[in-house]
Amino acid sequence: MPDSLFPRGAGLGGPPVLTAGCPFSAVELQAMESDGVVRRILAQVYVPAAARATAQLRARALAQTLTPRVRERTVAGRMTAAWVLGCAPAPERPVMLVESTRRLARLGTGDRLLVHEVRFGDLDVVDIAGLRVTSGLRTAIDLALHSEERTALPVLRRLLDHPGLGLTPALVSAGLEAMPRQPHKERARRVLGCLGSPEGATPEGRPAGGPLERGPSC
C-alpha cells in the first residue's frame, strides 16, 4: 500500500484512523474497503487493512466517533471497554459511563451511544491512547453485574486469559464484594462462580451461543 494514499502525518502515534471526510468520502472509503486497502474497525471508522489491531488502535477508532465533550466527560465501559481490550466484538452502540455527579443532559449524545451513570473508584479508569476506559478489573465486574449471563461468560473468560490484565476469578469476586449497594449482585456472584466451568457452559448448564459470544479472543 503506497504511503501517499494517506495524508501526511495521519499515521502519527500509530496507523491512520479514517472517517468520512478525513480525507476520503464515505463512498471512497467503501470502495477502498472493497479493494482490500482498508477495513472497517468500528461503525464508519476504517484503518489500513494490514494494521495490527491493538487496544490503542481500537481506542483511537472509538474516540473518532465521539464529540470532544463526550470524550472529556465519559469513560468507555462494559462491553465497549471489553472490545477496546480485545475481548469482545465491536459494539453497535458504544456504552459510555459518566460519573453520577455529572449531568447527562448536557452531553448531547443523541441516540448513537448508551450512557449510564455510575460511581468510579480511584483505580477504575485507565487511559488508552487518550481515551478513558474502565480498567480490566472494573470491566469484568461490570460485565458480571450488567450483562446477560450467556453474553458475559465468554467475554469474562477472555478477560481472564488476557496476559496483560492479571485478572483471576478470585480477584474479580473480591472486587465485586467491595462494591456496596449494587443491584444484581447475587446474579453476578453466580456468573463469576461459573468461570471455572467448562468453556461454553452457562449458569444453567446449557451450551453458550449467539453472535456476541463469537468475538475475537485476546
pLDDT digits (tens, 9 = 90+) for 184-209: 899 999 999 998 754 544 444 444 43
Exposure string over 145-174, b if 16+ CB within 10 A, otherwise e: bbbebbbbbbbbbbbbebeebebebebbbe
What's the pLDDT at 211? 34
- How far apart CA 188 and CA 178 sit, in angstroms, is 13
- How far apart CA 158 and CA 85 sit, in angstroms, is 10
Residue 30: pLDDT band by 50, 70, 90 thresholds? very high
What's the pLDDT at 104? 59
pLDDT one-digit tens code per residue, 56-79: 999 999 999 999 989 999 999 999
pTM: 0.83
Domain ranges in the chain are 3-52, 60-204
- Residue 98 three-state SS: strand
Per the listing, cell 459494539 goes with 91
Mean local confidence (pLDDT), 171-177? 95
Per the listing, cell 443532559 goes with 105
What's the pLDDT at 22? 78
What's the pLDDT at 13? 67
Pairing of strands 114-118, 95-99: parallel
